[in-house]
Amino acid sequence: MANPDDEGRIAAVRAYNRFYTRQLGVLDQQVFESPYSLSEARVLYELANRQHLSAKEIGAELDLDPGYLSRIVQKFADDGLISRKPVPADRRQHQLNLTAKGRQAFAKLDRNSHDDVAGMLRPLSESERRRLTGAMATIEHLLDSTALLATAILREPRPGDMGWIVQSQGAAYAREYGWDSSFEALVADIVAKFLNSFDASRERCWIAEIDGVPVGSVMLVRGDDEVAKLRLLLVEPSGRGQGLGRRLVGECINFARASGYRKITLWTQSILTAARRIYQDAGFVLVASEPHRSFGQNLIGETWEMKL
């Protein structure tokens, strides 16, 4: 029996596909006010950006039917857009290259594509544009196993980021470890104290961002004149796999040293194995552990320290 949730998701994806193809004008079978279909435009793009491709290579890259691709290639040849030269190792295959006329045709198509997308983005605010491109990157990363991870940037928090820290921490630990809302309350209290008594000379918060979307965070706060506390390290699943947790911890260590602290301390839980490994690799040492019941779970709290 089909899962009702999956059926709903399938319908949502299909609806999105219909919406987005309408946005791009693909349903009219012509792309960006050009005489080319979507498949023809994709072939032009490949030829414009790579040299000496064979039809076989283009077909494999774009997953096009060989007969359909053959008709596209013949049309381009008839229109003077491409030149064909036999492949020395296989005379049945031809190297395809754009002619001067073909490059002019692609340049116009590329310019119209740029202008159409710019027009689509124009009514959106800067934050809406970041959300849009971030959502697109998420779709690509989830559906294309070969897609390269975009490099995260680390930045200072902006308005709204502190609320995101509370929400993301609460959601992540409920989802991954079953912690209850008392943990989110603790995070909210830490964030509130940071905002209310922030000392820019001795405290920092970093937000990790990929394509305009927050995917991680950490804080370094003052304990006393000699001791800093590392707090609220988190990397979302969409930001994992590129050493982002280590980068965030490294920023804390560098800032603590520059600010004159002699030691950094942190409190974590024994079940957070990935975070513990990051702390250990960075030079932190486990100095105390104690069982406790918090956040609806039986846990073992750990105190780690690093001398600077």
* 294 neighbors 302 (Cβ within 8 angstroms): no
pLDDT at 29 over 50: no
Q: Is the pLDDT of residue 103 over 90?
A: no
Q: Do 24 and 97 fall into the same domain? A: yes
Q: Is residue 148 part of a domain?
A: no
- Please state the rounded mean pLDDT for residues 17-42: 67
**Which domain-ending residue is among 143, 174, 206?**
143
Q: What is the mean pLDDT of the chain?
A: 86
Which CATH number is 252's domain given? 3.40.630.30
More confident residue, 109 or 256: 256
Give the chain as a DSSP string: ---HHHHHHHHHHHHHHHHHHHHHTGGGT-STTSS--HHHHHHHHHHHHSSSEEHHHHHHHHT--HHHHHHHHHHHHHTT-EEEEEETTEEEEEEEEE-HHHHHHHHHHHHHHHHHHHHHHTTS-HHHHHHHHHHHHHHHHHH-TTPPPPPPEEE---TTHHHHHHHHHHHHHHHHH---HHHHHHHHHHHHHHHHT--TTT-EEEEEEETTEEEEEEEEEESSSSEEEEEEEEE-GGGTTSSHHHHHHHHHHHHHHHTT-SEEEEEEETT-HHHHHHHHHHT-EEEEEEEEEETTEEEEEEEEEEE-
Domain hosting 222: range is: 153-307
Task: Tell me the average pLDDT across 259-286.
Answer: 94
In this predicted structure, which of 102-106, 198-202, 232-236 has the lowest mean pLDDT? Answer: 102-106
What whole-number percentage of the chain has pLDDT above 90? Answer: 48
Both 196 and 245 in one domain: the answer is yes
Does 27 have pLDDT greater than 50?
no
- Same structural domain for residues 8 and 130? yes
Least confident of 33-47, 183-197, 233-247: 33-47
pLDDT at 144: 67
| CATH at 24 | 1.10.10.10
Distance CA 302, CA 191 (A): 21
Query: For residue range 118-162, what is the model confidence (pLDDT) as tens digits?
Result: 888 889 887 788 778 777 777 776 776 555 556 788 999 999 999
How many domains does the chain fold into?
Answer: 2
> Which of 20-29, 117-126, 182-191 comes out lowest in average pLDDT?
20-29
